[in-house]
Structure 1
Amino acid sequence: MGGKPSKAVRYDGNPEAASTASQISSTTPTVTIDGRVYHSDELSSYCLPRDEEEQDRLNSQHFALKALFGSNTLSYVQENLTLEAKILDIGCGSGSWVMEMAIDHPHAHVTGIDMADMFPTMIRPENVKFELANVLNGIPYPDNTFDFVHMRLLIAAFREHEWPLVIAEIFRVLKPNGLVQLMESDFTVQRRQDPYIGSKLAKLLTNASFNIEMEDVRVLDYGDDENPVSREMLWNWKNAMHSLKPLLGHRVTQHPDQYDMVVDRFIQDCDRYHWYVKLWAYCGRKPNVA
């Protein structure tokens, strides 16, 4: 973890660049703080853990978002995804989205990439593949490889200047007429990240020459006791805030040992005063260029 700016590097055509998780996971840099395992990669600003507890949080987040939006993909994607589509999920985490897409689309070929190996190892559909890759080094696939690229809630993964580089890489690996779906929220911690990235997705896509086909914006009230998605996302936010103790502990209180208590009070206020989170989802299409 650190503050060095990163530089995206294009895929050089070498198939060895797309190494498997089993080949790289033992060398992925980590650091353990208060019993939690975190990334230790100076190229990345990502600050959440990469352990089993984080896998539980990511799985919770996946199912809550699926319930909130009614599906794993926007309706435009559902209506236009080809039968044998090649699908890429960037920052796939615990792999829940990848696994469900593979089951729902048994003739598709679904790949998940992430900088941390938290992938399912025992049970995988035959049409699933996971790879270790940090997209800030470039997406490790040739031009025009995928029919559909999915990426969501990486607000804490990229610094502000890195977003255009990542979107350009998505454009590169998509086939002409290929689709991209992005989803982001409107909060983050400050490590040169952009707290307003969700509202800027449309501009990022158009600047990268995508045509925007669909927009879906949702507002989730943390204090809505009757909404199970709200309760699940509030628990998720609480879990994430506790995970950020190594980064935020000395910033939010003069006594870092009181950080957990401060977070619990903050979460109570989110509930009591009906704080809300806004989520933007977009589907873009790469033009059918020669």
Structure 2
Amino acid sequence: MCQLRLNTQHNYLTKVVCDGRLVYDKNIVLGENSRVLDSGTGTGIWATELANEVPDSVKIYASDVSNSEFPPTHPPNVHFSLASVTSLPREWSNKFDFVNQRFLFGALLVEEWPVALSEMYRVLKPGGAIQLIEMEPRFPVPETPKTSQIMKVTKEATDGLGLHIYVAENLAELTKGAGFVDIVDETKRLPLGKSWGEIGLQGAVAIGGAYRNTGALLVKNGICSSREAHDRLVDDVLKEWDEYGTHFPCKLVCARKPV
């Protein structure tokens, strides 16, 4: 189920955030012998799809802190490894032409974000580029009652863990602080619910599924009385999205390491 949600999330973000492209910036050309890093790769679907679009000589490294979702088979030029973006291998310094990272707003601590961006800067070649995508989970339009409720309980739980789920707000600033230049900071829309058609249904699977996955954490920390109560809340949220055509903002930040 997690793999299905993550792959649906990939297809959804590619469509609604990157205008159907794996690499949003049309000026970036991954030619012969380029090196690419997909940080926080999950199922590796972005990396494996990119392998079908670039020359075979392009090496794509797909890293994550867990290998539980890595695919059993993949193109020969995709290399999977266990690595955190806060501590990438030392031998990767100045190695990559492009780094992609998406939706780690629920994974990294407040103090880890500057470290992560510094690590991405380190492993990029001079002139190399990054592509970052993070949801802004505070400002749904419209802000309906059950959606407000799930936002509140999720924030309470993530605050307790020190996670920076509002990183989208200052993602461009953090990127600049790490030394990047030519920063492009765009706000996109994440449509949710059946009133948006098929893309809204994909969004409900991707984002609604992520909310549902927080149930165990909320119960463990006494924020929700039971997993069943949390599942009912998520069900109510999904009904609101279907009825009101909710959408959340999402940040797309592209930048380069100076030559």
TM norm structure 2: 0.83
CA shift for structure 1 position 269: 1.8
5+ long unaligned stretches in structure 1: 1-52
Query: Among residues 244, 256, 270, which one is paired with 2:214 in the alignment?
Result: 244
How many Å separate the matches in 1 of 2:34 and 2:253?
Answer: 19
How many Å separate the matches in 1 of 2:123 and 2:257?
Answer: 10
How many Å separate the matches in 2 of 1:181 and 1:207?
Answer: 16
| Equivalent AA in structure 2 for residue 273 of structure 1 | Y
Cα deviation, 1:243-281, whole Å, max 9, x if unaligned, reads: 211112365543443221121112212332333211111
Contact preservation (8 Å) 1:58, 1:93: yes
How many Å separate the matches in 2 of 1:92 and 1:133?
Answer: 10
Contact preservation (8 Å) 1:90, 1:112: yes
Aligned match of 2:122: 172
Aligned match of 1:261: 232
Please state whether the residue corresponding to 1:141 is helix, strand or coil. helix
Contact preservation (8 Å) 1:252, 1:259: no
CA shift for structure 1 position 220: 2.2
CA shift for structure 1 position 75: 2.5
TM norm structure 1: 0.75
Please state whether the residue corresponding to 2:75 is helix, strand or coil. coil
Aligned match of 1:121: 72
Identity %: 30
Aligned match of 2:95: 145
How many Å separate the matches in 1 of 2:170 and 2:83?
Answer: 25
Change (3 A) 1:121 1:221: closer
Change (3 A) 1:65 1:145: same
Aligned match of 1:100: 49
How many Å separate the matches in 1 of 2:200 and 2:46?
Answer: 20
Aligned match of 2:62: 112
Matched, 1:161 2:161: no
Please state whether the residue corresponding to 2:86 is helix, strand or coil. helix
Change (3 A) 1:73 1:56: same
Cα deviation, 1:50-107, whole Å, max 9, x if unaligned, reads: xxx211110010111112122111134x544343210001000001000011111123
Change (3 A) 1:261 1:81: same
Cα deviation, 1:167-205, whole Å, max 9, x if unaligned, reads: 000111111111111111112641322232112111011
Aligned match of 1:72: 22
Aligned match of 1:60: 8
Total equivalences in the alignment: 234
